[in-house]
Structure 1
Amino acid sequence: MKERWIVAYCGVLMSISSFSVDITLPSFPVMVDDLDAPFELVQWTITSYMIGAGLGQLVWGSMSDRFGRRPALAAGLALFLLGCLGAAFASSIELMLACRVLQGLGAAAAIVSSRAIIRDRFSGEALARNLALATAIFAVGPIFAPLLGAGVAALAGWRFIFLGLSVFAAGLLIVLVRLPETLPARAPDAMRLAVFVQRSRRLLAHPQSRYFVFLSAIVMASMLLILASTPRIYEHAFGLSGTTFAVYFAFHGLGIVLGQAANRRLIRSIGIVNAMIAANVVLVVAVMLMLGFIFAGMMNAILMTALITLFATSYLIVYSNAAAMVLDPHGDIAGFTAAFYGFVSQIGSALLVSLLVVVTGESVTGFAAALLAICLVSLAALLAWRPRG
């Protein structure tokens, strides 16, 4: 398999989370009724998935360093498939949340392996550019997943969404047969607790990796808040749900594609961190415009969608470049580093957003205010960054 196809496959692996989350968003109101559950608990199907994905990465990262990228990826995709089948037949919100955690645990192998495989092949600015390319491919998920989910739910019911995700996982397993093993050398002791502790200390002792791994959790909380809140906001503030909501929401995926195309050029011209700062400024501007239209009484579904799309052009510039800053110094333990990065960013953001969705509820103003606070904190952190030594 040629390198460009390996990067493309990694992009599809990255999209497994966006597909798993975004494809369910249009069905939230129906799931509330069918599972006889409060809207907040249905929103937690996102954060429970992200918690599972974050915890799972700690396991899969070390496993991929010990046994190889391909075996770890195969086991994770099989677990994800099992979780999807369980969710398709879940009879209660409690069982649904458990199956979403299981899906997240399995999908974590895809998240870790995709970043580790790219780090196995590239370093420096080439690493950042290829992560940006894989992230642009990942944007296929946010574009098509809501539309696909709405279409499947309308034709066959929301449970068939999870059956479709199991078919997607099976397809990734079939393609995996062609993927070469990229791990340069297996680490026989990678699963030992002492080694885990030693590697954690090494990563956190590195000023660059430590700084950007925690920044990633702040940045990821912004998009996770959008994913968890928009179905409720579009339904209550604008009267849109189901397929109509999916059409509006799909536009933000186009923003991701445009942003990652720009990111590859920005990295070459102004560098990785400066590209992150420029993108974070766009995030702040987008949310301030959102608040301005809300206070002026002019906010509607079209304006909200346009501003979320603008936001999406820059969110993943910050997030994917943060991944490059964390991974680059640790090529010999790429699997573990990718796992630690994913764990901190996903668990940290999921816990934060689980609280925020309860506080903000269906308030458009509360949602925008919380989003602005997150973006201002991340911008301040980027401006405060000073390279060491």
Structure 2
Amino acid sequence: MTSHPAPAGMHPREFVAFVAAVMAVNAFGVDLMLPSLADIGHDLGVSEANHRQWIITVYMVGFGAGQLVYGPLADRYGRRIVLILTLAGFVGASIFAAGSASFAALLGARLLQGLMSASTRVLAVAIVRDGSSGRQMARTMSVAQMIFFLVPILAPTLGQLLLEFGPWRFIFYALGAFAALVLAWTLVRLPETLPAERRVPISLTTLRANYRLTLTNRYSLGYAIAASLTFGGIIAFVSLSQQIFVDGFNAGDRFTLFFAICACAMGAASFLNSRLVERLGTRLISQSAVLGLIALSIVHVAVIATGVETLWSYIFFQALSMTCIGLCGANFGAMAMEPVGHIAGTASSLQGFITSIGAVVVGSAIGQSYAGTTTPLAIGYLAIGFAVLGIIWVVEGGKLFRARMG
């Protein structure tokens, strides 16, 4: 079995775990507070239920916008120092969020948290890309994501436990504590992965050239947009999960369990992808998953239209849809990075910006359409599936299931 290339001084397994922990800072930032949204809304005077989704959405806006900055900085100064400074910033933003006295102040803190955590996405990809590419990179990222997807499974339950011992503000203190642990791990164990000779001075000319290369390469741009659409499906589910399970199906006492089932499906998909991608390729797996998402969504829309949707039918279709989405993420990311690996930091930041902001737009459009039923989510997933299939068709020159580039 192929090992995962790791920086000097780190065991391959430790490296994968470290990458997963870095990615988990962002995942905890989104999922840990889901059980507390109603409490936050009540405490800070938010009367409209759909407005509570902004606690997630504003964070993701910061997460997307911040990625434009960290790529060039990481290419110029190295990965390690940028990660250290932004993790420290995330700790400070978490403390600020915990002390918020108004909903506006909380949203400001969430925006700052997102801006700081944006580095985790850019640097996780860039650090892995510094030592691998193609199918090998996809495999390493899939194993890291498999561990990373344990966070959505565990985070709501951990958030619920924190609420048993104190107010919702405890959740933000816990976020700061976790980021501090990852910061300590970085300080003690992570060496610099970008050699000095590969560092690129920051200049408008260089940035324009790198951005142009990233945006004009059809694989880089096309698969970044495809990733944004599938990620938008995840944002929509996360934003709506508390309302659907608690308000829609009156299953608040089992919310964390049902959320974990759907998140576990994504973790299983990443595990499966890590085992198969080097043998089957990124294209075969991801394109099959997109077709699966379309087929599932058509059936789900039909179930809703006929009036036979239940809690269990929703969980069934949602879990399988998340499986399909889970088989797309790492593969789309690896294919987008393949032609621009020599400018990994800048390319990762721009692709991350496209992916995150696009996901916010898609997820918000679906989430704000919620009116008490699962219809917007099912129709949204169907639209995402067809849109991604169309993008793949254009990117691949009208051919599917090609073996080229992964």
**TM-score, with length taken from structure 2:** 0.90
Map 1:1-389 onto structure 2 (within 5 A): 1-37=10-46, 38-177=48-187, 178-185=189-196, 189-241=200-252, 244-386=254-396
Residues 42 and 93, structure 1, Cα contact 8 Å, conserved in 2: no
Residues 214 and 220, structure 2, Cα contact 8 Å, conserved in 1: yes
Code of the residue aligned with 1:153 in structure 2: it is L
Q: Which runs of 5+ in 1 are unaligned?
A: none
Q: State the superposition RMSD in angstroms.
A: 1.9
Partner-residue secondary structure (3-state), 2:239: helix
Q: Which runs of 5+ in 2 are unaligned?
A: 1-9, 398-403
Code of the residue aligned with 1:213 in structure 2: it is A
After superposition, the C-alpha distances for 1:310-365 in whole angstroms (9 at most, x for unaligned) are 12222122121111011122222111111111100101111233233223343321
User: For residues 352 and 261 of structure 1, do their structure 2 counterparts lie closer, same or farther at Cα, with a shift above 3 Å needed?
Assistant: closer
Bigger mean CA offset, 293-302 vs 277-286:
293-302
After superposition, the C-alpha distances for 1:46-101 in whole angstroms (9 at most, x for unaligned) are 11111101111111111111111110001111111111111111121111111111
Residues 120 and 184, structure 1, Cα contact 8 Å, conserved in 2: no
Code of the residue aligned with 2:22 in structure 1: it is L
C-alpha deviation, 1:272, in angstroms:
0.9
After superposition, the C-alpha distances for 1:236-281 in whole angstroms (9 at most, x for unaligned) are 221123x521121011222122111221243233321121111112
User: For residues 289 and 156 of structure 1, do their structure 2 counterparts lie closer, same or farther at Cα, with a shift above 3 Å needed?
Assistant: farther
Bigger mean CA offset, 301-310 vs 24-33:
301-310
Separation (CA, whole Å) in 1 of partners of 2:15 and 2:152: 21
Code of the residue aligned with 1:236 in structure 2: it is D
User: For residues 78 and 322 of structure 1, do their structure 2 counterparts lie closer, same or farther at Cα, with a shift above 3 Å needed?
Assistant: same
Separation (CA, whole Å) in 2 of partners of 1:355 and 1:267: 32
Q: Taking every aligned residue pair, what percent have the same amino acid on both sides?
A: 31
Residues 60 and 339, structure 1, Cα contact 8 Å, conserved in 2: yes
Residues 23 and 145, structure 1, Cα contact 8 Å, conserved in 2: yes
Residues 55 and 105, structure 1, Cα contact 8 Å, conserved in 2: yes
Bigger mean CA offset, 82-91 vs 265-274:
265-274
C-alpha deviation, 1:161, in angstroms:
0.7
**TM-score, with length taken from structure 1:** 0.94
Residues 245 and 255, structure 2, Cα contact 8 Å, conserved in 1: yes
Residues 220 and 336, structure 2, Cα contact 8 Å, conserved in 1: yes
Residues 190 and 196, structure 1, Cα contact 8 Å, conserved in 2: no
C-alpha deviation, 1:186, in angstroms:
5.7
C-alpha deviation, 1:152, in angstroms:
0.9
State the aligned residue count.
Answer: 388
C-alpha deviation, 1:283, in angstroms:
1.9
| Matched residue, 2:7 | none
